[in-house]
């Protein structure tokens, strides 16, 4: 499967624990985007990364959330000390080049659903 791969698909955490969500972009894609989606709502942009660089993190909460896209391996969205309000579906998308320089098409994974008890 050459598509965007996200894991885990489902993650349950208790309040105060850490959640790590992983995203492997499509082959040949070096740009990764993370979005959060609450039930019955649209996609809220969180962060845009290129290999080893954060390009735009304007949608990322200032505390407890961080993201990285190392030279080797998947992109990781990390949520520390999770709270119930963090329960959501987190989607990763990738593109072959910067969407800010072309028509902006994104290819999405199937999402990771975080439930905080």
Partner 1 sequence: TQLLEQSPQFLSIQEGENLTVYCNSSSVFSSLQWYRQEPGEGPVLLVTVVTGGEVKKLKRLTFQFGDARKDSSLHITAAQPGDTGLYLCKGGSEKLVFGKGTKLTVNP
Q: Which residues bind partner 1 (CB under 8 A)?
A: 4, 33, 35, 40-43, 45, 48, 56, 59, 91, 93, 99-111
Rounded to a whole number of angstroms, the minimum distance from the CB of residue 73 to partner 1 is: 21
Residue 9 neighbours by CB under 8 Å, 6+ apart: 110, 111, 112, 113
| Residue 10 burial (10 A CB sphere; 0-12, 13-18, 19+) | exposed
Quick one: 17 or 99, whose CB is closer to partner 1? 99
Length of the chain: 117
Quick one: 42 or 72, whose CB is closer to partner 1? 42
Quick one: 52 or 56, whose CB is closer to partner 1? 56
């Amino acid at each position: 499967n050459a598509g965007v791969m996200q894991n885990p698909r489902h993650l349950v955490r208790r309040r105060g624990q850490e959640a790590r969500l992983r995203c492997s972009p499509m082959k040949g894609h070096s740009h990764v985007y993370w979005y959060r989606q609450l039930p019955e709502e649209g996609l809220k942009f969180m962060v845009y990364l290129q290999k080893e660089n954060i390009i735009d993190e304007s949608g990322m909460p200032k505390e407890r959330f961080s993201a990285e896209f190392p030279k080797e391996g998947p992109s990781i969205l990390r949520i520390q000390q999770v709270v119930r309000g963090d329960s959501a579906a987190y989607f990763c998308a990738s593109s072959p080049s910067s969407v800010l320089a072309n028509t902006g098409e994104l290819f999405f994974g199937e999402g990771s659903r975080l439930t905080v008890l």
